C-alpha cells in the first residue's frame, strides 16, 4: 500500500449531494488506488469547498429529513435538508459521506481525513502546492 499522502479538493458548487459523497468516500477509503486492500485504510485527504452551494434533486430539499435522538423518551429531533443547509451545510455533506463508508474502524479514521469548508478558503493550500511542485519536478 502506498504511503504517499495526497490532498484532493472537491468543489461542491452546483454538485448533487449523493454523487459528490460517492466520489469523496472513494478517495477516503482508498478505492481509487491501484494497490487497494479492503482491510487497509486509505491515506488520502479530502477537502471539500463551497459546501453551501451543494444541491439535491427533486423535492428532497423539503422532503429529506435528518433525525437525531437524545436518548431520552420523546427526545427525537428532526430537520429537513433546506433548514440543515441554512444552519450548517458542512453537516449535510459529512452525514452523506459517513453513510457511504463501511461501518467500522477504518471509516472512523477516514472521517478524520475529511475537511469541509463553507467557502473557497481552506487551510490545506500549502500541502496542495507542495504536491503539485513535486509532480512538476519529476518530469
Three-state SS for 49? strand
Is 2 inside any structural domain? no
Is 78 inside any structural domain? no
- For the chain, percent helix, then strand, then coil, each to nearest 5? 45, 20, 35
Residues 6 or more apart whose Cβ sits within 8 Å of residue 28: 42, 44, 46, 97, 101, 110, 111, 113, 114
Please give the radius of gyration of the chain, using alpha carbons only, rounded to the nearest integer.
17
Domain count, the chain: 1
Ranges assigned E (strand) in the chain? 7-11, 45-49, 65-69, 76-80, 114-116
* Between residues 41 and 59, the one the model is more confident about: 59
Task: Report the candidate in 75, 2, 8, 77 with the shortest Cα–Cα distance to residue 37.
Answer: 2
β-sheet bridge partners, residue 78:
67
pLDDT tens digit sequence for 66-125: 999 999 999 999 999 999 999 999 999 999 999 999 999 999 999 999 999 998 888 787
Domain that holds residue 114: 7-55+89-120
Confidence band for 135, pLDDT divided at 50, 70 and 90? very low
Three-state SS for 14? coil
Is 37 inside any structural domain? yes
Tell me, what CATH number does 34's domain have?
A: 3.90.1180.10
Is 80 inside any structural domain? no
Give the pLDDT score at 2. Answer: 59
Is 1 inside any structural domain? no
Is 23 inside any structural domain? yes
Amino acid at each position: 500500500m502506498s504511503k504517499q499522502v495526497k490532498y484532493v479538493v472537491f468543489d461542491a458548487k452546483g454538485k448533487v449531494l449523493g454523487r459528490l459523497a460517492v466520489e469523496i468516500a472513494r478517495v477516503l477509503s482508498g478505492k481509487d488506488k491501484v494497490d487497494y486492500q479492503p482491510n487497509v485504510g486509505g491515506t488520502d485527504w479530502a477537502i471539500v469547498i463551497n459546501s453551501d452551494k451543494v444541491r439535491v434533486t427533486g423535492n428532497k430539499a423539503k422532503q429529506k429529513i435528518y433525525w437525531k435522538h437524545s436518548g431520552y423518551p420523546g427526545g427525537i429531533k428532526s430537520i429537513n435538508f433546506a433548514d440543515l443547509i441554512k444552519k450548517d451545510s458542512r453537516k449535510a455533506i459529512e452525514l452523506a459521506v459517513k453513510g457511504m463508508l463501511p461501518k467500522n474502524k477504518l471509516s472512523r479514521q477516514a472521517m478524520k481525513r475529511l475537511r469541509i469548508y463553507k467557502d473557497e478558503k481552506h487551510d490545506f493550500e500549502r500541502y496542495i502546492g507542495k504536491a503539485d511542485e513535486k509532480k512538476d519536478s519529476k518530469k
